Amino acid sequence: MKNFKDKVAVITGAGSGIGRALAQELAASGAKLALSDINEAGLKKTATDLGLAEDRLMTRVLDVADRQAFYDFADDVVNHFGYANMIFNNAGVALGATVEDMKYDDFEWLMNINFWGVVYGTKAFLPYLKQSGEGHIINISSIFGLVGIPTQSAYNAAKFAVRGFTESLRIELELEGSPVSCTSIHPGGIKTNIAKAARMTDGVERITGADKEKSIQDFEKLFRTTPEEAASTILKGVRANKRRVLIGSDAVAVDAMQRLLPTSYQKLIAMGQKYMNK
């Protein structure tokens, strides 16, 4: 997909961060947009800032963890525009917790959004993307879909799962000669509110040596890439039909570390955490 003009792009988590930046760049490229977010205020701001006419924009307050709601959204998008070409499964949440202290409710909350939301979005829209004759599925994983990080086991589980799910799907689509492709996206630290909105347990302090507020501050220091830079990189990857897109120099470094030290990287991360705790 080299050109986004008049293509219908569906974006979850469009009320802020990467989702909003994707909407802005796609609108500038002439795309039609179907935007969703569970945050109604954020979604309205994105829509207002875009200033698009109704024939080029629709919005929906959507909980991506609600399978039926996602399927209804897909039907409504196609009823509104007549077709759909791209689904950006971008919505996500964060959870800081050790495996021992993590509550099942929190684990399920994160998986329902970060993994099942991707699955629902992919399966709800895939038939429509095929019908359009030219489609692309863009699933947002993470650098935490490449390496394991202490206190991030739930997030790791979801993002590793998104990566595997997307890579498997890509091969299936190629084997059947489908007009649809897909790409796994692996952002590093992006300047969004995901850390501030994260759930966090007391066990994090035991591992990191810092309370919740300090942990969030330390984590946000690693955010180097703007949402606008991330969106631009993602869309370049879609145009090039890349299988995997790394966003930010930190993502490139983490990917290289995992390739060079596929298991030993764990020792390096543990040593780094111990050093930070001093």
Query: Closest Cα to residue 10, out of 133, 129, 162, 172?
Result: 129
Whole-number Å distance between alpha carbons of 61 and 118: 16
Whole-number Å distance between alpha carbons of 191 and 178: 35
Any catalytic annotation for residue 275?
A: no
Which residues in the chain belong to E strands, given as ranges? 8-11, 32-37, 57-61, 86-89, 95-96, 135-140, 180-187, 199-200, 244-247
- Burial (CB < 10 A; 0-12, 13-18, 19+), residue 133, is exposed
Whole-number Å distance between alpha carbons of 148 and 145: 8
Whole-number Å distance between alpha carbons of 141 and 156: 9
188 in Cβ contact with 140 (< 8 Å): no
71, 83, 120, 155: which is the annotated catalytic residue?
155
Catalytic residue ranges: 155
